[in-house]
Each structure stands twice: as structure tokens, then as C-alpha cells.
């Protein structure tokens, strides 16, 4: 199973920095190559990361607005995404 950084999408191959249990989840703390830290939650029938991956929208770096994934220009400031 591969785990990707929710922020930059890079696959993380290094082992977790820390692991612990949270309710019914096994939590692993990862750090990606670019230095983003995130928690990976692994449960019986659910796996997810905190923060959530930014996959279904395009994030404008100029004004921090989230745009639809198919957007080419930011709806707020017009910057090319």
C-alpha cells in the first residue's frame, strides 16, 4: 500500500515518525520529502489522512481560494492555476 502526502501528492516511502492508536484507528505520523507533516488513519474499513488530500479542487496560491478542479483561472483573482 502506498501513502501519498495530502498536500503535495508525493508518495511517502519513509517509515512513520510516530505511531499510536486513536479510538478504532491506528494513526501514523508521516513527513513527506518536502517537509509536510500529516497523520494517516487506518481503521477496520476506513483509511484517510488528516489533513484531507487536495484532489478535487485547484487551490490558488495567490489568494488561497479553492477552485473547481477543471478551472484554469482562479475565480477570485484570475491567476492562472
Which residue's CB is nearer to Zn ion, number 3 or number 27? 3
| Cβ proximity to Zn ion, 39 vs 74, nearer residue | 74
Q: Could you say whether residue 77 binds Zn ion (CB under 5 A)?
A: yes
- The answer to whether 67 and 81 are in contact (CB under 8 A) is yes
Burial of residue 74 (CB within 10 Å: 0-12, 13-18, 19+) is buried
Q: What are phi and psi of 21, to 5 degrees?
A: -105, 140
**What residues from 5 to 64 belong to the interface with Zn ion (CB under 5 A)?**
5, 7-8, 32, 34, 36, 60, 62-63
In the bound complex, what is the minimum distance in angstroms from residue 20's beta carbon to Zn ion? 21
Q: Report the candidate in 67, 65, 8 with the shortest Cα–Cα distance to residue 33.
A: 8
Residues that bind Zn ion in the complex, under the rule CB under 5 A? 5, 7-8, 32, 34, 36, 60, 62-63, 65, 74, 76-77, 79
Amino acid at each position: 500500500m502506498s501513502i501519498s502526502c495530502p498536500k503535495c501528492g508525493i508518495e511517502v516511502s519513509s517509515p512513520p515518525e510516530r505511531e499510536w492508536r486513536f479510538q478504532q484507528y491506528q494513526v501514523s505520523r508521516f513527513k513527506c520529502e518536502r517537509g509536510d507533516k500529516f497523520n494517516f488513519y487506518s481503521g477496520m474499513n476506513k483509511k484517510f489522512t488528516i489533513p484531507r488530500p487536495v484532489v478535487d479542487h485547484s487551490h490558488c496560491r495567490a489568494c488561497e481560494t479553492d477552485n473547481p478542479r477543471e478551472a484554469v483561472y482562479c475565480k477570485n483573482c484570475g491567476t492562472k492555476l
